[in-house]
């Protein structure tokens, strides 16, 4: 069964460092998303991406965040200068069309120390 | 922003018992979704509801889209230990925005004792 895969599963980084979280969406999907879940809290939408550009973003997705589809298979989330409060699970998701279900990856746990 | 109020926050039940949780909003929605999240995993869609009054089942799970379009409930019948997890209600993007843009409730933590 096709699935969204994310790497790494766990990333530890020093405050102020840049991190790149990687995702391989389901191959025939065209819409891509990043979500964040701070420990013990609900899952929060960060950004949606379609046709090589951001289609929507939340207020959480500020200038330190960026997304990219560098090739035909990967979808990345970059955090330029990490802060302690960026520590969270980051989930990638993809959907075939704008009106269809989004499938989530297993997440990357980011720990900023 | 639009908030979803989900209750209860947590439930501790015995195996075999039925479970009910619900979600409310002050705004009208066109879709209600119920997800389950197990430890170390991403959310997995359980049931999607698209019409007011719709009642949908998926095995032991039943969910309903409230007639006012402001609420939904999820029932799990005859719970088993593998039902353990966090259950989230969610609304998806309406009015032409992507359905993958989801707003989640706070979640209900379900613990099932054998």
Query: Residues 31..90 of B with a Cβ closer than 8 Å to A: which?
Result: 37, 40-45, 48, 88
> Who wins on pLDDT, A72 or A56?
A56
Instruction: Give the sign of the dihedral formed by CA B66, CA B60, CA B90, CA A67.
Output: negative
pLDDT of residue B96: 54
The pLDDT score that the predictor gives to residue B101 is 82
Main-chain dihedrals φ then ψ at residue B81, nearest 5 degrees: -55, -30
Chain A closest-CA separation from residue B41 CA (Å): 5
Bridge partners, B1 (sequence order):
none
**Residues of A within an 8 Å Cβ radius of B:** 4, 31, 33, 35, 41-45, 48, 50, 55-56, 91, 93-95, 98-107
- In this prediction, residue B2 carries a pLDDT of 63
Closest CA to B64 of B55, B52, B75, B51: B55
> How far apart are the CA of B68 and the nearest CA of chain A, in angstroms?
22
What is the DSSP code (8-state) at residue A64?
T
- What would you measure as the largest C-alpha separation in chain A, in angstroms? 39
């Amino acid at each position: 069964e096709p699935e969204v895969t994310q790497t790494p599963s766990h990333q530890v980084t020093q405050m102020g460092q840049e991190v790149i979280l990687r995702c391989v969406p389901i191959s025939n999907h065209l819409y891509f998303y990043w979500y964040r879940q701070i420990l013990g809290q609900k899952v929060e939408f960060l950004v949606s991406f379609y046709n090589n550009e951001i289609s929507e973003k939340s207020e959480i997705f500020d200038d330190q965040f960026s997304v990219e589809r560098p090739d035909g298979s990967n979808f990345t989330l970059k955090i330029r200068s990490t802060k302690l409060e960026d520590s969270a699970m980051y989930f990638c998701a993809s959907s075939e069309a704008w009106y269809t279900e989004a499938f989530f990856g297993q997440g990357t746990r980011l720990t900023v120390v | 922003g639009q908030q979803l109020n989900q209750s209860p926050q947590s439930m501790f039940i015995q195996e075999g018992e039925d479970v009910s949780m619900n979600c409310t909003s002050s705004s009208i929605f066109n879709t209600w979704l119920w997800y389950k999240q197990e430890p170390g995993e991403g959310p997995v869609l359980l049931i999607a509801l698209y019409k007011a009054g719709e009642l949908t089942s998926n095995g032991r799970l039943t969910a309903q889209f409230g007639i006012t379009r402001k609420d939904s409930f999820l029932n799990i019948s005859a719970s088993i230990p593998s039902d353990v997890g966090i259950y989230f209600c969610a609304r998806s993007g309406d009015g032409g925005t992507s359905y993958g843009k989801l707003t989640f409730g706070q979640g209900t933590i379900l613990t099932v004792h054998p």
